[in-house]
Amino acid sequence: MLKKRKEEGFKIIIVGCGKVGVTLVDQLSKEGHDITVIDTDASIVNDVSSAYDVMGYTGNGASFTTLVEAGVTNADLLIAVTASDELNLLCCTLAKQVGNCATIARVRTPDYSKETNYLREKLGLAMIINPELEAALETAAILALPNALEVNAFAHGQATLVKFRIPEDSDIAGQTLAQVGQSIKSNILFCAIERDKEVYIPSGNFTLQAGDIISYVSNRRNASTFLTEIGYKSNKVKDTMIIGGGKGAYYLAEQLISMGIKVKIIETNKARCEELSLLLPKAIIINGDGIDQELLRAEGLQKVEAFVPLTGIDEVNVLLTLHAKNTSNAKVITKINKINYNEVLDSLDLGSVIYPKFITSEAIVAYVRARQNSANSSNIETLYHMFDSRVEAIEFKVDADSNITGKKLKDLRLKPDVLVSFISRKGRIIIPSGSDTIEKGDTVMIVTKNTGFTDIQDILN
């Protein structure tokens, strides 16, 4: 499935034009694919098809007639991201029967999340993705390393990509990357740096400044030891207050409790509080209005180590974050679903920001790219967009010998703004030097300002 030549692109049908669906249209149309959208709301279909110059059909994505009219018999991939898990699964099942295309379903319900492997196998889906669960995993990783703005895992959790901001009083401000490397024991690699809205793939002579936002990669253990070496507290938080008791709050609380972190959830709906009390017996569940400042104070906002607003309303999440920043020293994480005012958000001190819609789109774009060229010598394992999609971190599994294998990195003619960040070999993470080589069977992460890489050989000039 999905074995067209790279330059042709795929015919992709997206069912559901909500925030995730529109994000997918934006990402996949930029990658050169032929997109068709289906939604029951005619005005939304018209808006999306006009804004992105894609085909649009109004109707039920689980309808045989609608799917055939939208071209499912010739489609390469159908992605179902409606608000209903059951409808998404039904759309994919019907598309497999009618068009024999690859299918991806968004499934968010906790009951189904524990059965994803079974559902994927029995229904023949290429992928099931749960953005709330993935956002919870990312949030939990940050709370395990609270000085970080972002924490992402690669190489099946053995390698970690960390983003943090250099504070005004940091000892590393004014030093070059080479000098920092010589003064620490942790084996890390600086991958990308943002300064004054510009992003750099740095060399060793790059001089750091206070306020720089830095991404570095290391093995899992060194992710925290590096921060400790340069003077930051790197122990996980001890307790967390979550505002809102939806699916995302459940997933996050479940993760945090398993990590030994105390959890308090404030939720307005009494029936949902009773459900959460049964689902999360180790959490403290408070029935109350999470935007009530007096309630937040009474429940210990001033002393809590982490604060995560998950109300489902972006504007409320932002206001709660700003309130927590003003009244406590808590590590705050803000989940943004819909707001697109990036410049405004960047001007606010929101701590770490999580975008579930981008988590979904990155996983799907990675899947599509991995199958764009049947002659690939490698396969994309993970794709992650950094710094507002100006930089990509791509994890390749090297499946065959090629022009890049067996040669020292210093002898490869790489494209500008390409950095080989780590090599995973038989479970060991190698932070590479110029004398290291890439071999068949390795997993390799590339950080680049270029876009559209589908094969490890794309890094060559």
Answer yes or no: is 106 within a domain.
Answer: yes
Residue 384 burial by CB count (10 A; 0-12/13-18/19+): exposed, middle or buried?
buried
Answer yes or no: is 388 within a domain.
Answer: yes
Both 313 and 251 in one domain: the answer is: yes
Which 3 state secondary structure label does DSSP give 252?
helix
Domain around 55 = 11-129
Both 102 and 39 in one domain: the answer is: yes
Answer yes or no: is 303 within a domain.
Answer: yes
User: What is the CATH classification number for the domain harbouring 22?
Assistant: 3.40.50.720
pLDDT tens digits along 423-436: 999 989 999 999 99
Both 453 and 405 in one domain: the answer is: yes
Both 15 and 125 in one domain: the answer is: yes
Q: Which amino acid is it at 307?
A: F
Residue 24 has what pLDDT?
94
Max Cα distance, the chain (Å): 66
User: What is the CATH classification number for the domain harbouring 444?
Assistant: 3.30.70.1450
Residue 3 has what pLDDT?
44
Mean pLDDT, range 247-269, rounded to an integer: 96
Mean pLDDT, range 319-344, rounded to an integer: 86
Both 449 and 368 in one domain: the answer is: yes
Both 16 and 75 in one domain: the answer is: yes
Mean pLDDT, range 191-214, rounded to an integer: 93
Both 348 and 383 in one domain: the answer is: no
Q: How confident is the model at residue 113 (pLDDT cuts 50, 70, 90)?
A: confident
Please determine, for residue 156, whether its predicted confidence score (pLDDT) is greater than 90.
no
Q: Tell how far CA 327 is from the center of its chain.
A: 29
Both 257 and 276 in one domain: the answer is: yes
Six-digit token pair at 327? 């009244």
Q: Could you give the percent of the chain with pLDDT greater than 70?
A: 95
Both 339 and 250 in one domain: the answer is: yes
Both 397 and 341 in one domain: the answer is: no
Mean pLDDT, range 306-328, rounded to an integer: 94
The structure's pTM equals 0.86
Answer yes or no: is 71 within a domain.
Answer: yes
Mean pLDDT, range 75-84, rounded to an integer: 95
Residue after which a domain boundary falls, among 330, 354, 378: 354
The span from the CA of 186 to the CA of 164, in Å, is: 16
Residue after which a domain boundary falls, among 295, 320, 354: 354
- The total of structural domains in the chain comes to 3
Other residues' Cβ atoms within 10 Å of the Cβ of residue 122:
10
Please determine, for residue 365, whether its predicted confidence score (pLDDT) is greater than 50.
yes
* Positive/negative CA dihedral, 409, 415, 417, 418: negative
The span from the CA of 447 to the CA of 420, in Å, is: 7
Q: How confident is the model at residue 405 (pLDDT cuts 50, 70, 90)?
A: very high
388: DSSP letter? T
The span from the CA of 339 to the CA of 195, in Å, is: 24
Residue 454 has what pLDDT?
87
Residue after which a domain boundary falls, among 299, 320, 354: 354
Each as own residue / partner, the long-range contacts of residues 458-461 (CB below 8 Å, 24 or more positions apart, any chain) are 458/415, 459/404, 459/412, 459/414, 459/415, 459/418, 459/420, 460/403, 460/404, 460/412, 460/413, 460/414, 460/415, 461/413, 461/414, 461/415, 461/416
Answer yes or no: is 156 within a domain.
Answer: no
Both 384 and 350 in one domain: the answer is: no
